[in-house]
């Protein structure tokens, strides 16, 4: 006998984030090829197999994955290791996923471990924003919004 219910995997969580990001239209969604590449990485597949074994839901697993990607790129930037434009863009998009998860805590069914993973990935995403902040945009924003 088979189950009529699909296992909630990380791809479903990422697809929900994609749909939201596409609908708001700010360009924070992954391109179709980037999405396909992400869900087929060894890291994504590994975390997707393990998240429930460590007590996370698929959203907590996605938070774990996002924080790993963004943290790795941050570490490389801080160590002055060259980061490819594709990896920079991926970190930027996964940072957006991290912040979306953090802003959605109230509407997701989460456990305590998920909350910890999401709060951690939000902290990493905020560090990403600090590192990638463009000072000229701050001047522009002060002029536009006094």
Rounded Cα–Cα distance for residues 136 and 52 (Å): 43
Residues 6+ apart with CB under 8 A from 49: none
pLDDT: which is higher, 35 or 5 = 35
88-99 per-residue burial string, b: 16 or more CB within 10 A, e: under 16: eebbbbbbbbbb
| Statement: residue 118 has pLDDT above 80 | yes
pLDDT tier at 4, thresholds 50, 70, 90: very low
**How many Cβ atoms from other residues are within 10 Å of residue 35's Cβ?**
16
Q: What is the pLDDT of residue 3?
A: 36
Alpha-helical runs (H) found in 1-146: 10-24, 32-39, 42-50, 58-78, 85-103, 112-132, 135-144
User: Is a pLDDT exceeding 70 seen at residue 139?
Assistant: no
- Nearest Cα residue to 130 out of 86, 95, 80, 90: 95
pLDDT of residue 5: 40
- Break the chain into its structural domains and give their ranges: 10-144
């Amino acid at each position: 006998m088979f189950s009529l219910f699909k296992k909630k995997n990380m791809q479903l969580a990422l697809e929900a984030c994609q749909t939201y990001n596409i609908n708001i239209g700010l360009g924070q969604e992954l391109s179709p090829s980037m999405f396909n590449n992400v869900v087929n990485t060894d890291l994504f597949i590994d975390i997707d197999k393990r998240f429930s074994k460590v007590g996370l839901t698929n959203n907590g697993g996605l938070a774990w994955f996002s924080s790993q990607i963004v943290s790795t790129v941050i570490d490389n930037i801080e160590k002055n290791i060259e980061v490819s434009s594709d990896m920079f863009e991926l970190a930027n998009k996964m940072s957006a996923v991290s912040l979306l998860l953090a802003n959605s805590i109230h509407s997701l069914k989460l456990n305590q471990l998920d909350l910890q993973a999401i709060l951690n990935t939000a902290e990493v995403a905020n560090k990403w924003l600090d590192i990638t902040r463009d000072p000229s945009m701050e001047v522009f924003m002060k002029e536009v919004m006094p």
